[in-house]
Structure 1
Amino acid sequence: MSDTLLEVRGLQTWFDTRSGTIRSVNGVDLTLKRGEILGLVGESGSGKSVTGYSIMGLLEAPGRIAGGSIKFYGKNGTAVDLVNLSEERMRALRGDRIAMIFQDPATSLNPVLRVDTQMCEALHSHARMSETQARDIAREALNRVGIPAPDERLKSYPHQFSGGMRQRVAIATAILNKPELIIADEPTTALDVTVQAQILYEVKKLCRESGTALIWITHDLSLVSGLADKIAVMYAGRIVETGPIAEVMAAPRHPYTIGLMKSIPSNNPRGQPLYQIPGMAPSAENLPTGCAFRPRCERASAACESVPEARDLSRTPGVEHMVRCFHAQEVNA
């Protein structure tokens, strides 16, 4: 069995508008192994969600994939490029081998259909089974995400649930077919802390037991630190730092990653004002030349007027810690 599940190379996702081309994703490289959990973090507008939609083939006009490849590997090691896959074949993959959990459950639940109808349909569309078998699997999935009285809830409509309960139904639906890859776009934002912890535990357990890989899109570094095996930090459409979660959190090398770490309230000295990265993230429509973080970076130099290449600065043999910065070797060296 091939260990690699997903390989994204040079992904470019652009939106052509009247005012110009918005380069939301501008050369993203990602590699994900089976059973691995990747935390994709960054500020709002950095391109995290668009990367997820690109992998799922859910872009709508005027969005388009302008370049790059998204290779999804089978268990025999053969790969398909999701960029060039027909819509019919992509539909066969979605919900079965690849699933997505959206930030807003309203985008994934039909308001006029009962929960059992929607969950059983997700099962019947990819496998042959009886209605009783489908309901049993749906009931177990609701149990796993902490929904009480699942038999009663299966007969309910989405509007009869709270926002947090609807999100749990959406998560349960995504894990029904035990997909090989789940892309989760900040799915626990609407949940309270105790339910969030339960969801994270179940998702992590699913990945460990079934070999499901997970891309968890978030801006919450503290959440990622307890969930992910690997982290990828995104800024202005590019991955600026990626590596094992323990190594990156212990010794971040990119100035932007360091800024994000300092911004965590628990890392702030008591009685001192909360740290914030100076300036604002640039618009994807009007990116600065060279390194996009240059206008906000205290280490910026003339070299930063050109785009830095990603370099491996790992301290552990056989482990990649890629950083896209000219001055990364000066930090935590």
Structure 2
Amino acid sequence: MTPLLQVKNLVTEFGGAKGRPGLKAVNDVSFNVERGTVLGLVGESGSGKSVTGFSIMRLLERPGRVASGQIVFDGVDIANCSEEEIRRLRGKRIAMVFQDPMMTLNPVLTVGTQMVEAVQAHDNVSKETARRRARDSLGVVGIPSPEERLKAYPHQFSGGMRQRVAIAIALLHKPDLIIADEPTTALDVTIQSQIISEFQKLTEVSNTAVIWITHDLAIVSRLADEIAVMYAGRLVETGPVSEVLTNPRHPYTAGLIASVPSQNRRGKPLRQIPGMTPAISRLPQGCSFRTRCDRATDGCLLMPALMPENDRSFRCIHPVTKVTA
């Protein structure tokens, strides 16, 4: 079966003019997303996760641009679609939940007005029908008294409630693909669990595909089927969640897992990856993780290719030894 989304050798650049290359925030990234599955796209801040999501949605602002590669959605390369064509897909078949809900919500319009407009922009239904869909969607994400809350303005909601409204808008059309950029960061644990449960139901009942962008490995382990780990704009490890989180092969993935507080012992200092993610303007020669890695050798002065291993891959010439049960 052909995947719903195929990202092939995607390169997203910022800057660059008159034929000069820009800075590569996303560098030769490839992955597939099947219908009804969840891909967890993980990594530290600055790794290129959100830029990858914006590239797929064609929401990059200048000087950002997709420099090369393909973004094939349901057989169509949307990297080369016209603005009109991508506008018909965006919101209807592909939706995005932003980390900051105020990127989605207009502060001078009521939530109800915005949600009704979102429904009628793609579906030829009455205002009353659109309003009922908006009310029901607010109820799905756990907003109490949804009929009354449709009359409220964004500033009358807390930060977590605004995020729930943004998620409700993304769910209005039951899209084929949802790109969720840290959507539960501002929510308390109870509501976070509820939202994750709703996304799980969406993938099972509606066969919706999800790209879940996060740094929270606990959420990925619960929600995702596949995982793609990014570092400094490149994929460094991909594969089934259960295999990657149990037996990480790339030192960066192993470092992320070891940094989770539950992996550490009481009374002992928390383990962490030394140093900081390098700026894309000052990447080290060869493997970008080389300067933070205790396994690095002179061989790491050359950028390794993604090495396949069964149904997974990793970008390292000194992979972590597999852990056996």
Instruction: Tell me which interval the TM-score lies in, with the shorter structure as reference length.
Output: over 0.9
**Whole-angstrom CA distance in 2 between matches of 1:250 and 1:228:** 14
**Whole-angstrom CA distance in 2 between matches of 1:184 and 1:3:** 22
Range that drifts further, 294-303 or 36-45: 294-303
5+ residue gaps in structure 1? 74-78, 315-319
5+ residue gaps in structure 2? none
Secondary structure of the corresponding residue to residue 223 of structure 2: coil
How many angstroms does 1:17 deviate by?
6.4
Give 2:32's aligned residue: 31
Give 2:44's aligned residue: 43
Moved over 3 A (4+): 329-333
**Whole-angstrom CA distance in 1 between matches of 2:22 and 2:291:** 21
Matched, 1:300 2:299: no
5 Å matches for 1:282-321?
282-314=278-310, 320-321=311-312
**Whole-angstrom CA distance in 2 between matches of 1:17 and 1:223:** 37
**Whole-angstrom CA distance in 2 between matches of 1:137 and 1:323:** 44
Q: Which amino acid aligns with 1:272?
A: K
- Corresponding residue to 2:100 among 81, 85, 104: 104
Is the CA contact 1:101–1:174 (under 8 Å) kept in the aligned structure 2?
yes
How many angstroms does 1:328 deviate by?
2.0
Secondary structure of the corresponding residue to residue 186 of structure 2: coil
- Corresponding residue to 1:85 among 81, 88, 92: 81
Q: Which amino acid aligns with 1:328?
A: P
Distance 1:53 1:60, change over 3 A: same
**Whole-angstrom CA distance in 2 between matches of 1:329 and 1:163:** 40
Give 1:256's aligned residue: 252
Matched, 1:56 2:57: yes
Give 1:76's aligned residue: none
5 Å matches for 1:116-155?
116-155=112-151
Matched, 1:322 2:313: yes
Is the CA contact 2:248–2:320 (under 8 Å) kept in the aligned structure 1?
no
**Whole-angstrom CA distance in 2 between matches of 1:247 and 1:118:** 42
**Whole-angstrom CA distance in 2 between matches of 1:205 and 1:98:** 18
Give 1:4's aligned residue: 3
How many angstroms does 1:303 deviate by?
1.7
5 Å matches for 1:211-250?
211-250=207-246
Range that drifts further, 241-250 or 2-11: 2-11
Distance 1:133 1:294, change over 3 A: same
Is the CA contact 2:250–2:320 (under 8 Å) kept in the aligned structure 1?
no
**Whole-angstrom CA distance in 1 between matches of 2:79 and 2:247:** 35
**Whole-angstrom CA distance in 1 between matches of 2:2 and 2:264:** 39
How many angstroms does 1:329 deviate by?
6.5
Is the CA contact 2:249–2:322 (under 8 Å) kept in the aligned structure 1?
yes
How many angstroms does 1:293 deviate by?
0.6
Q: Which amino acid aligns with 1:22?
A: L
Is the CA contact 1:3–1:34 (under 8 Å) kept in the aligned structure 2?
no
How many angstroms does 1:296 deviate by?
0.9
Matched, 1:159 2:158: no
Secondary structure of the corresponding residue to residue 10 of structure 2: strand
Q: Deviations over 1:236-293 (max 9, x none)?
A: 0001001111011111100000000000000012211000111111111111121111
- Corresponding residue to 1:275 among 271, 274, 284: 271
**Whole-angstrom CA distance in 2 between matches of 1:326 and 1:237:** 19
User: RMSD across aligned C-alpha pairs, in angstroms?
Assistant: 1.5
Matched, 1:177 2:155: no
5 Å matches for 1:7-22?
7-16=6-15, 21-22=22-23
State the TM-score, normalized to the length of structure 2.
0.96
Give 2:91's aligned residue: 95
Number of aligned positions between the proteins? 322
Q: Which amino acid aligns with 2:44?
A: E
How many angstroms does 1:299 deviate by?
1.1
**Whole-angstrom CA distance in 1 between matches of 2:153 and 2:275:** 45
How many angstroms does 1:3 deviate by?
4.4
State the TM-score, normalized to the length of structure 1.
0.94
